[in-house]
Amino acid sequence: MNGSLLIYNARLVDEATDSPGALLISGGRIQTVFIGDFSNRGKAVGCCKDGTAALYDACGLSLMPAFIDMHVHFRYPGLTEKEDLDTGLHAAVAGGYGTVVAMPNTKPVISFSAQVAEVEKKAAEYGLAHLFQSASITNGFSGTDISHLDTLNAEQVPVITEDGRDVANAAVMLAAMQKAAGKGIIVSCHCEDPSLAAAARPYREKALGLMHRYGVPVKCGDSCGVPLPASVDAEINDALSEANRLLKLAEDTATERNLILAQTAGCRIHIAHVSTEGSIEAVRRAKTARPAGMVTCEVTPHHLALCGTGVPGLRAFVNPPLRSEKDRLALLTALADGTADVISTDHAPHTVSDKAAGAPGFSGLETAFAVCHTILAVRNKFSISQLSTLMSARAARLLHLNRGRLLPGYDADLILVSPGEKWKVESSVFASKGKATPFEGSVLEGKVRMTIVHGEKVYGAGVL
């Protein structure tokens, strides 16, 4: 788009605003914010001093800062049968995301600055969402070598993570955290004790074997009415219960360890996909012991919406697994009281065959806003401004981005959403290659209608 654009007849929503208004953007940035009733085109024209701005009638839709996701898997390079930059970035903008942080568990693992620069350059060529590529904590996920961290800087690589696993050796993790502290790099932790995760694996494999044998389908987050003999149902539940008990212990013990190590090292720590009451309590305690911003955490839409009860369909298999209702309610409380800082999707697409074999994770970018709006705003009375804080403003501050607010001078990364619009999830129309979602067939409330990045429309109908 050349020149200026005035979006009028909108409901302006960010963490501090919920009001009718209009927004003038130019040069990829927000120039002026107008509060008041600008539903009349003639009144809107008066906002443009030189009269040359193009006008776009938002028709009463909510105009918000584009979302920022601190945790996505785009599988590039090397695993592009699951996802690639093209499909991943299109999924991001379809979900209202203007910025994403990609995980390094690719093939090869992303560890070095040159690799980071290559991925980010390739992503920028699509002209869709901004992409930050994180780097691994240990070189190539070796678990021991952290020499590559000496070459990284926070401006290019704001986040390091071993996502998909934890660093087993505490001494190695401490040394890595000390290096990160000296550079101002955030250490994002997938908190899971490897030995306890290994102990859980045979129970999960037993459950998966029985599910395959008795035809529990991939399609849904429950058994979809498949009649299982009572003894088989009990056997699957027992195996999953033991696996989940061990995996809960794995998360809680690793969270405690990593928080202690981070305090010792003096580094910024971000706990990824927190899913248990115990881990949330550990984060809450750690926040009181350290300066503001040094301890942060994220929760996912699926852990906010779902619990791991009954025999799940394979689409609902994820790591960390879906937890108890008590854990889910603890996450909601943590969002309300500020213990949980941001909502991240952990978008993890797989091929159909990989999901059928029990691969953990599923696509989340294109359902995230609707799931969060339905669970938080509709059912739990969060305001839409709170939702904007959790999905935009706080992540922008963590990453030191000039985004996430409707303020003059901020990047014009924006979305138009229809909060009350109900729609049915059909993964077949996802932009993502990954068609697995535990929300398949669910009716959700809240729809992203347009995404604008750097002042340019990148998703949605109509012409700006």
Sign of CA dihedral 360, 362, 368, 374: negative
* Residue in 394, 296, 376, 386 with CA at minimum distance from that of residue 99: 394
The mean pLDDT value for 144-148 works out to 98
Are residues 297 and 228 part of one domain?
A: yes
Q: Are residues 84 and 10 in the same domain?
A: no
Q: Domain for residue 404, yes or no?
A: no
Give the number of other Cβ atoms within 10 Å of residue 424's Cβ: 10
CATH number at residue 58: 2.30.40.10
**pLDDT tens, residue by residue, 161-211:** 999 999 999 999 999 999 999 999 999 999 999 999 999 999 999 988 888
Q: Which two tokens stand for residue 133?
A: 């590529």
Pair 297, 220 in one domain? yes
E strand map for 288-431: 295-299, 342-343, 414-424
Identify the weakest region by mean pLDDT among 114-118, 141-145, 368-372, 458-462: 458-462
pLDDT in tens, 437-446: 999 999 999 9
123 and 16 co-located in one domain: no
Domain that holds residue 55: 4-64+411-420+444-460
In-domain check, residue 433: no
- The active-site residue out of 346, 354, 411, 413 is 346
Share of the chain above pLDDT 70, in %: 95
pLDDT value at position 425? Answer: 96
Confidence of residue 223 (pLDDT cuts 50, 70, 90): very low
pLDDT at 334 over 70: yes
Exposure class string for 99-114: b at 16+ Cβ within 10 A, else e: bbbbbbbbeebbbbbe
> Residue 226: pLDDT band by 50, 70, 90 thresholds?
low
pLDDT at site 230: 83
Strand partners, 459: 451
pLDDT of res. 428: 95
Q: Structurally, how many domains does the chain consist of?
A: 2
pLDDT for position 218: 46
**In a shared domain, residues 306 and 176:** yes
pLDDT of residue 50: 67
- Answer yes or no: do 344 and 197 share one domain: yes
CATH code at position 122: 3.20.20.140
Question: In terms of domains, do 313 and 383 share one?
Answer: yes
Does 214 share its domain with 227? Answer: yes
Residue 246 lies in a domain: yes
φ, ψ at 418 (rounded to 5°): -110, 90
Q: In what order do the strands lie in the sheet with 159-161?
A: 159-161, 186-189, 269-271, 295-299, 342-343
Q: Is residue 435 part of a domain?
A: no
Question: What's the whole-number mean pLDDT along residues 403-427?
Answer: 98
Does 145 reside within a domain?
Answer: yes
Q: Mean pLDDT, to the nearest integer, of 408-434?
A: 97
User: Could you give the CA distance from residue 321 to residue 415 in angstroms, rounded to a whole number?
Assistant: 31
Residue 196's H or E segment, with its range, is: helix 194-213
Q: Is residue 430 part of a domain?
A: no
For residues 207 and 236, is the Cβ–Cβ distance under 8 A? yes
Q: Are residues 32 and 110 in the same domain?
A: no
Q: Is residue 2 over pLDDT 80? A: no
pLDDT digits (tens, 9 = 90+) for 19-41: 999 999 999 999 999 999 999 88
Asked if residue 215 belongs to a domain, the reply is yes
Model confidence band, residue 224 (pLDDT cutoffs 50, 70, 90): very low
Grouping H, G, I as helix, E, B as strand and the rest as coil, residue 351 is: coil
Sign of the torsion formed by the C-alpha atoms of 159, 161, 163 and 166: negative
Specify the pLDDT at position 231.
86
For the residues 349-368, what does the mean pLDDT come to? 94
Q: What pLDDT score does 309 carry?
A: 65
Half-sphere exposure of 255 (CA within 13 A, CB side): 28
Per-residue pLDDT of 247-277, as tens digits, reads 999 999 999 999 999 999 999 999 999 999 9
- Residue-wise pLDDT for 279-327, tens only, equals 999 999 999 999 999 999 999 999 999 998 655 567 888 999 999 999 9
Please state at what angle helix 85-94 crosses helix 113-124, rounded to 10 degrees: 60
Please give the average per-residue pLDDT across 334-362, as a whole number: 95
Active site (annotated) includes residue 69: no
Q: 452: which strand partners?
A: 414, 457
C-alpha separations of 128 from 12, 95, 401, 455 in Å: 23, 12, 17, 11
Closest CA to 376 of 415, 414, 329, 341: 329
Looking at the chain, the whole-number percentage of residues with pLDDT higher than 90 is 85
φ, ψ of residue 127 to 5 degrees: the values are 65, 35
In a domain, 431, yes or no: no
CA distance 8 to 23: 7
Tell me: do 239 and 217 sit in the same domain.
Answer: yes
Examine the domain organization and report whether 35 and 155 are in the same domain.
Answer: no
Query: What mean pLDDT comes out for the span 80-92?
Result: 98
CA gap 381, 373 in Å, rounded: 10
Average predicted confidence (pLDDT) for the chain: 94
Q: How far apart are CA 114 and CA 110, in angstroms?
A: 9
> What helix, strand, coil percent values describe the chain, rounded to 5?
40, 20, 40
| Segment 370-383 mean pLDDT | 98
Choose the weakest-confidence range: 9-13, 224-228, 269-273, 383-387. Answer: 224-228
Same domain, 175 and 236: yes
Count CA atoms within 13 Å of residue 228 on its CB side. Answer: 25
